[in-house]
C-alpha cells in the first residue's frame, strides 16, 4: 500500500464530475487500498477519488473514530463505488466540517440528517442503505467530491471571506499539512 498525495482545493480536478467505474480490476483494488492508507495517514474519516487525482465515482470512509466518541454504531471501513443518493431526509443539522483537500480550514455546514444511498461495495455487490448522524454527513461530503462540490460551496460570501487568507496560502503552496499534498494537476492513470 502507498500513501498518495492529496490534491488541494485550488486544483481544477476537484471541480470536475467523475466517471462511473466500469469494472473491478487489480488496479482499482490497489487504489482502494492506497486510499484507505492515505486517509488513515492523514487522520481523515473519508476520502474521495478526485482528492487523489482520480476522476472516478469512488470514495472510502471509516467513521469509527467519530462514532466511538459519540456512542454511535461502528461500521468499520466502507467502500462506495458508483454511489447514487436516493433520498436526503430529516432536519438540516449544522456541524463543523473540514476537508483533507483544504488543510486548516473548518466551518459549519448544514446538511440533512439522513441519507439513503445505493452503491457497489468493494466486491461489486450492490448495496442500498440508510445512514444518519455523522456517517450520513461523511457520505454527503464525500459524494459531493464526486460531483465537483466542496464544503466551501455551502458557506456564505462572508464566511468565505473569513477563510480567504488561509485559502491564498494553500493556493501559493505555503500551507503545511501533516500529510503529502499533490502539486496542481496531479493525476494517476487507473
Q: Which residues are catalytic?
A: 142
Strand order in the sheet with 126-132: 46-48, 58-61, 78-99, 102-120, 126-132
d(CA 22, CA 19): 9
Phi-psi region of 39 (alpha: psi -120 to 50; beta: other; left: phi over 0): alpha
d(CA 37, CA 57): 19
Q: Is the dihedral of CA 83, 85, 91, 97 positive or negative?
A: positive
Q: Which cell goes with 99?
A: 476537508
Q: Which residues contact 69 (CB under 8 A, 6 or more apart)?
A: none
Amino acid at each position: 500500500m502507498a500513501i498518495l498525495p492529496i490534491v488541494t482545493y485550488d486544483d481544477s480536478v476537484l471541480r470536475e464530475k467523475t466517471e462511473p467505474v466500469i469494472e473491478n480490476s487489480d488496479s482499482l483494488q490497489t487504489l482502494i487500498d492506497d486510499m484507505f492508507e492515505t486517509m488513515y495517514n492523514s487522520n481523515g474519516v473519508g476520502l474521495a477519488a478526485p482528492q487523489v487525482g482520480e476522476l472516478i465515482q469512488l470514495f472510502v470512509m471509516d467513521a469509527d473514530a467519530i462514532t466511538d466518541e459519540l456512542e454511535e454504531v461502528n461500521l468499520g471501513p466502507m467502500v462506495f463505488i458508483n454511489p447514487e443518493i436516493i433520498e436526503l431526509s430529516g432536519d438540516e443539522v449544522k456541524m463543523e466540517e473540514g476537508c483533507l483537500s483544504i488543510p486548516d480550514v473548518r466551518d459549519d455546514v448544514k446538511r440533512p440528517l439522513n441519507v439513503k444511498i445505493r452503491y457497489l461495495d468493494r466486491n461489486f455487490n450492490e448495496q442500498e442503505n440508510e445512514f444518519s448522524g455523522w456517517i450520513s454527513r461523511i457520505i454527503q461530503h464525500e459524494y459531493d467530491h464526486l460531483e465537483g462540490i466542496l464544503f466551501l460551496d455551502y458557506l456564505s460570501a462572508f464566511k468565505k471571506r473569513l477563510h480567504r487568507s488561509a485559502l491564498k496560502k494553500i493556493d501559493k503552496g505555503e500551507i503545511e499539512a501533516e500529510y503529502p499534498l499533490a502539486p496542481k494537476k496531479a493525476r494517476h492513470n487507473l
